[in-house]
Amino acid sequence: MTAIIAKRLLAAIPVLVGLSVIVFLMIALIPGDPATAILGSYATPENVARLNADLGLDKTLPQQYLAWISSVLQGDFGRSYALNRPVIDIVLERFSATLLLAGAALILATIFGLLAGIVSAVRQFGLADKTITLVVLIGISVPSFWLGLILILFFAVRIQLFPASGMVAIYGGGGPLDILHHLVLPAVTLAVVATGVIARLTRTAMLEVLRQDYIRTARAKGLSERRVIYRHAFMAALVSVIPVIGIQAGFVLGGAVYIETVFQWPGVGAMLVNAISQRDILLVQGGVLVVAASYVLFNLAADVCQTLLDPRLK
């Protein structure tokens, strides 16, 4: 178990390094003078000169990267010029909100995606299958930012069941129940697409597995259909669905950008959109790096889960 995790962690290191190089190159790739781009066009010449020296732009790119990555590893992502605060503070503050939202959405998507996929496969070509297939098709085609608005109009404005925006109530908010209350609409909206994708793949994986010889063996043993489907077939199908759930984590983390904007959820996504509009490049860089790195770690976790479920992969 520990050996597996250690092995996967080692394998993730080159990915993380590559990721950091790409994120680092963001600054170098900006057309024109990076310092001006970072500080905005109203920056004083002295500030531009000082930032240029800070960024070490007189050195070669590999030297710049080493200097940058060593300060990143010490938690120094630079300062946001627009907010005049250390980037790391803002990103970490925002990231916890994103994790909560994305985590809730991913759990919803996994539960309902697996359920819908199994029912669809077991009732193949039946009414339930056709209905689920159609709903899934709508789910993966619907723009989440539009769906969010519809849900706000109905659940927040019309029947006033859930709040329309934010993470906590302005007066007396902040308790776990209050946050949960605010979480429902954005998490459901964010989960829709991932649910659809997971449902589709679960259905295919189940149908694939149900044709296998070992399912015939399970039936030949005289097991009940329930046991054949929910133990023998589902466990085998789950092995191929888990990596998909890992990939969906990326779509959910990315899709959070829209949902955070629509619901004014104080996460990294909404922060990134503002930072891009204000050309606050260091903040964008920090946000992208943290989210992307967490995605790598999440995939690693999915990988380990898959190995634990399927001992053949060891």
Within positions 77 to 136, which residues make up the interface with another protein, using CB under 8 A?
Answer: 120-122, 124-125, 129-130, 133, 136
Site membership for another protein, residue 22 (CB under 8 A): yes
What is the C-alpha end-to-end distance of the chain, expressed in Å? 10
Site membership for another protein, residue 212 (CB under 8 A): yes
Site membership for another protein, residue 151 (CB under 8 A): no
CA 198 to chain centre: 14
Site membership for another protein, residue 4 (CB under 8 A): no
148, 193 Cβ separation under 8 angstroms: no
Nearest distance from C-beta of residue 96 to another protein, angstroms = 17
Interatomic CA distance for residues 51 and 141, integer angstroms: 45
Site membership for another protein, residue 39 (CB under 8 A): no
Nearest distance from C-beta of residue 76 to another protein, angstroms = 20
Site membership for another protein, residue 184 (CB under 8 A): no
Token digits of residue 264: 């004014």
Site membership for another protein, residue 53 (CB under 8 A): no
Site membership for another protein, residue 192 (CB under 8 A): no
Interatomic CA distance for residues 210 and 237, integer angstroms: 9
Q: 286: closest CA among 117, 123, 88, 101?
A: 88
Interatomic CA distance for residues 62 and 217, integer angstroms: 59
Nearest distance from C-beta of residue 18 to another protein, angstroms = 4
Q: Of 137, 161, 180, 297, which one interacts with another protein (CB under 8 A)? A: 137
Q: Give the angle 295-5-253 at the CA atoms, nearest 5°.
A: 10
Q: Of 253, 265, 267, 307, which one interacts with another protein (CB under 8 A)? A: 253
